[in-house]
Every structure is written in C-alpha cells, then in structure tokens.
A and B are shown apart, each in its own frame.
Chain A
C-alpha cells in the first residue's frame, strides 16, 4: 500500500475531519485531524488501511499559537508507511477523546501525555500519572512556560 492511496482513502472517508494532508516521502504521511473525530479516524485506519501498530502518542506545545498538539504516530506491521496524525487543541482547556479502545497500547502514552502536558483524554480507563509523582500533577512540566526546570525538582516539592 503506497502513501498516495492511503491519503486518498483517508481524505475520501473523512473529508471534513482531515485537513492539510500531505505526502512527505514514500514512507511518511502527515495530516491534521479534527480532535472530535480522532477515535473514528483511528478506527478506520486500523480496520481498512492496515495501520495496526501505534508507535507513539505525544504532545507538543506551541505557546506562540496558544495551542497544544497531540501527535499520533501510526504505523503498520505489514507496510512501511508511518502516518503522523496531529490534532490541534486550545491551550487553556485541552481535551480529546481517548483512543485506548482502538489501540490498546495507547494507554500509557496517553497517561504520560496527560501528566506532562495536562491534556485530558476523555473516557480513558485509568488516567493518572505514570512517571511523575502525584505532587507534580498540575505543573505540566513539558509545557514551554514551565519554570521549574532545572531549579525545582520533585524533591523540593515533596
């Protein structure tokens, strides 16, 4: 399955939810997805386009645009194409539907993104901190305006 077919299939099925889809190289595709459709798009990718392997879920902070982005890297065990699916969220109340029902291993990635960026994943089965202590919750350390690094560490907080 090549990159162009995948893009056509994806934009054809979700003409309103998918935007700025582009082929970066024969094995890399990029697209933006409307946050409220993320789960449906992932389900379609898994069922119809052989994207059965979730590489990672992560957040990126863009303070200038006052936005947070959730970035999904979805790949396949059969073909080498990796899809970078991004969803823009407002910085003050970031919320998106969890994709754990589609990709089981999104669980820990979403927990990590939640504790580092404060992005709420709705209907996540167990949304609590993974690598940070409970006391750090609400600090959102990977946001660009976090001032704790490197002077305030977990030890000073406890």
Chain B
C-alpha cells in the first residue's frame, strides 16, 4: 500500500484495537484529506485454529469447541455442527427437541441483534443506545440461562436432541419478557425515526445495491436490506421452520439505517416464532429413544461420508462442510461463517467515504472478528 501513496495522501491504521471494532482486526486506510482512497483489512489477530482443533477432538468434544467460534451465536454454531453429524449418521430428532432448539436459537438471535444494535449506536456516538439494549438483552440471557444453564457458551445441543427439557414455568416467565421487548422495539423504532442526528449518520451512508451485495457474497441482514429475500430458514428449512409462520424481512434502501430496520423487524418475527413454538410445543422425548448414540456415549463413530449443512445465523448464512472417515473424530470440518465474506466486502464499501463514516458502515454490519478468524 505504501508504494501507491500519492502526494497529500497518508496511511492511517485503524486497529487492531479500536473502539469501533467488534474484535481485533486491522484496517489500513489510504486517506486524501478526509476521504478514503483505498482500504485493506488484515486478519489473524484472534486466529484460534478451530478447524484444526476440531479434527483432533471427538464429535462430542467438538460441540464445546464450535461454541467458541463466536460466543454471541453459540447456539446456531452448535445447530450447524450437530446438524452435520445428524445428517451423516441419519439421526432423527424428536419433535419436542426440535421445538426447544428453535426457541433457544430464536432467543439467541434476539440477544445477538440487541447487542449488535447497541454496539452500532455506540460506534456512531449514540452511547445511550448501548445502555438501552444491553438491559433488554440481559432479560433474554436470563431466559436462555434458565433453559441451558449458561449465558454465553451453552453446549446445549446433543446429537439427536437437546441436553435438558424446558424448565417448569418457562412459558409464564418468557411471555412477559417478550411482551416487554415488543414495546421496547417500537420505542427504538420511534427513536430512530425521529432522532435527527442518528438519521444524518445512518441514512444514505454505506449504500449496497442488490447486484453489488450478491457479487460480494454478502448474506444475512446486510443482504436483506438491499431487497433480496435470502434466508436459509425459508430457502432450505431445517428443524420445524417449515411448519412455522414467519416472513423474511427485507428493505429496499440498502444503507446503514435499512440494516438496522431489518434487524428490528427480524426481532419482531423472532418473538412471533417463539410465541408460536410455546403454544404448539408437543410432549414426548427430548432425545431419540432407540438411538445407537446414547445421551452419554463418550465414543461415537460416525459413518464415513461428507455433508454440507447450512443454517441461518443472526448475521447470515452459516455453513459447515464435514468429512467423516468412519472414526470417532471428523476428518475435516470447514466452517463457513457469515461474517467472513461480509468483512471482505468492507474495503470496496468504504472506498470514497469519509473516515467518520467508516465506523458507521463497519458497525452496521454487526461483525464478529472471532468468527471471521476462527
């Protein structure tokens, strides 16, 4: 980058540690005055070698490792990993376990979106936003804690089911929290619509069009904000999503404000999904009765084969490619996280904007560097 430096230009490094970042990565900006002429992302500051570690752990131990890819979306990571093994071994998940999984995963989507919005507010200088959302997120985390016994890294899913049933009185505790959240989402929306400073910082900033977003490989809310209704829960339903009623939230503007609007609407849909699940959840076992893989089998051998399984992460399309060679450890697990291509799309998106907007655009993507690095 230095060789290309023209007159009146300079290079500014944002990061690896910077308040606007969701995790450590370095953004090298070539600036001319306030304008970004060129940008480059450097990764690797939080590379954990998760794919190599998974090859050296048994399948059961692997569940705890995929939790650590990104703690915010630990449950969807588990869903993807467990789903791969279930497809390979041909395990049928009992219906009650599927409903419980949908409930905890949608709760996890709610808390991830809440934190993402709070962080976004903080990045553009609206620090009170973080205070508002973190309070509501705490209530959601308490609900997840009731079911899974942990706030962030749960290890809750098992091959063929879930670890524990819903606790007594879960529905009675959950409904007031969800009703309160509905009210709060309306408040946020009104706040975003009426706050002049927020609108000037977010509207018309970082515009992605549908064609560009597709060619950059973006998925999740950032893509849906451009008007493409791409959602794995609809396109390729897993669990009981095909029986549930929900719509894919889209927007047309494609700017930072549209991404936040899509997240707000998605939270409403998630609440609606959870309410349906709580009403319709059937009785029955939470683990297959006659499964060759018992609940506590320490050594399980998965039939040889390969599978590519996709789930809808709060940030977009999460996929895992698993190759099994018939032993008790996977031969290869490739984690295709949603934030990796989104982060890759950041340099073309911030080219030509000002330095102040870099934080706004980067923050509106709701990133997780830990997942991009793995």
Contact code string A44-88 (vs B, CB < 8 Å = 1, else 0) = 000000001111101011000000000101000100101010000
Inter-chain contacts of A129 with B (CB < 8 A) = 44
A105 engages B217 (CB within 8 Å): yes
Return the contact of B344 from the options A58, A71, A107, A116 (Cβ within 8 A). A107
Is B163 located at the chain interface by the 8 A CB criterion? Answer: no
A55 engages B49 (CB within 8 Å): no
Residues A100-158 near B (CB distance < 8 A): 103-105, 107-108, 116, 129-133, 141-142, 149-150
B344 engages A132 (CB within 8 Å): no
Residue of A nearest to B229 (CB): A77
Chain B nearest CB, measured from A110 CB (Å): 12
From B68-76, B124-132, B198-206, B332-340, give the one contacting chain A: B332-340
Inter-chain contacts of A56 with B (CB < 8 A) = 319, 321, 334, 336
| Residue total for B at the interface (Cβ-Cβ under 8 A) | 33
B336 engages A149 (CB within 8 Å): no
Inter-chain contacts of B49 with A (CB < 8 A) = 141, 149
A60 engages B323 (CB within 8 Å): yes
Return the contact of A131 from the options B47, B214, B215 (Cβ within 8 A). B47
Inter-chain contacts of B38 with A (CB < 8 A) = none
Contact code string B292-316 (vs A, CB < 8 Å = 1, else 0) = 0000000000000010101000000
Q: Which of the four size classes fits the interface of chain A?
A: 20 to 34
Residue of A nearest to B373 (CB): A131
Inter-chain contacts of A60 with B (CB < 8 A) = 323, 331-332
Inter-chain contacts of B340 with A (CB < 8 A) = 108
Residue of B nearest to A129 (CB): B44
Contact code string B213-232 (vs A, CB < 8 Å = 1, else 0) = 01111010000000010100
Inter-chain contacts of A133 with B (CB < 8 A) = 44
Give the distance in Å from the alpha carbon of A103 to the alpha carbon of B215 in the complex. 7
Inter-chain contacts of B334 with A (CB < 8 A) = 56, 58, 71
Residue of B nearest to A79 (CB): B235
Give the distance in Å from the alpha carbon of A44 to the alpha carbon of B341 in the complex. 22
Return the contact of A141 from the options B52, B306, B323 (Cβ within 8 A). B52
Give the distance in Å from the alpha carbon of A28 to the alpha carbon of B308 in the complex. 8
Is A27 located at the chain interface by the 8 A CB criterion? Answer: yes
Inter-chain contacts of A131 with B (CB < 8 A) = 43-44, 47, 373-374
Give the distance in Å from the alpha carbon of A130 to the alpha carbon of B374 in the complex. 12
A105 engages B345 (CB within 8 Å): yes
Chain A nearest CB, measured from B125 CB (Å): 31
Inter-chain contacts of A104 with B (CB < 8 A) = 215-217
Known: A55-B317, A82-B310, A132-B47. A149 touches B345 (CB 8 A): no
Give the distance in Å from the alpha carbon of A54 to the alpha carbon of B336 in the complex. 11
Is B56 located at the chain interface by the 8 A CB criterion? Answer: yes
Contact code string A13-56 (vs B, CB < 8 Å = 1, else 0) = 00000000000000110000000000000000000000011111
Residues of B bordering A, CB below 8 Å: 43-44, 47, 49, 51-52, 56, 214-217, 219, 228, 230, 235-236, 306, 308, 310, 317, 319, 321, 323, 331-332, 334, 336, 340-341, 344-345, 373-374
A-B contact pairs, 8 of them (CB 8 A): A28-B308, A56-B334, A71-B334, A73-B319, A130-B43, A131-B44, A133-B44, A149-B49
Residues of A bordering B, CB below 8 Å: 27-28, 52-56, 58, 60-61, 71, 73, 77, 80, 82, 84, 103-105, 107-108, 116, 129-133, 141-142, 149-150
Kindly list 17 other residue pairs between chains A and B, CB separation below 8 angstroms, not including A54-B217, A55-B317, A77-B214: A27-B236, A28-B308, A55-B319, A56-B321, A56-B336, A58-B332, A60-B331, A73-B308, A77-B230, A82-B308, A107-B344, A131-B44, A131-B373, A133-B44, A141-B52, A142-B52, A149-B52
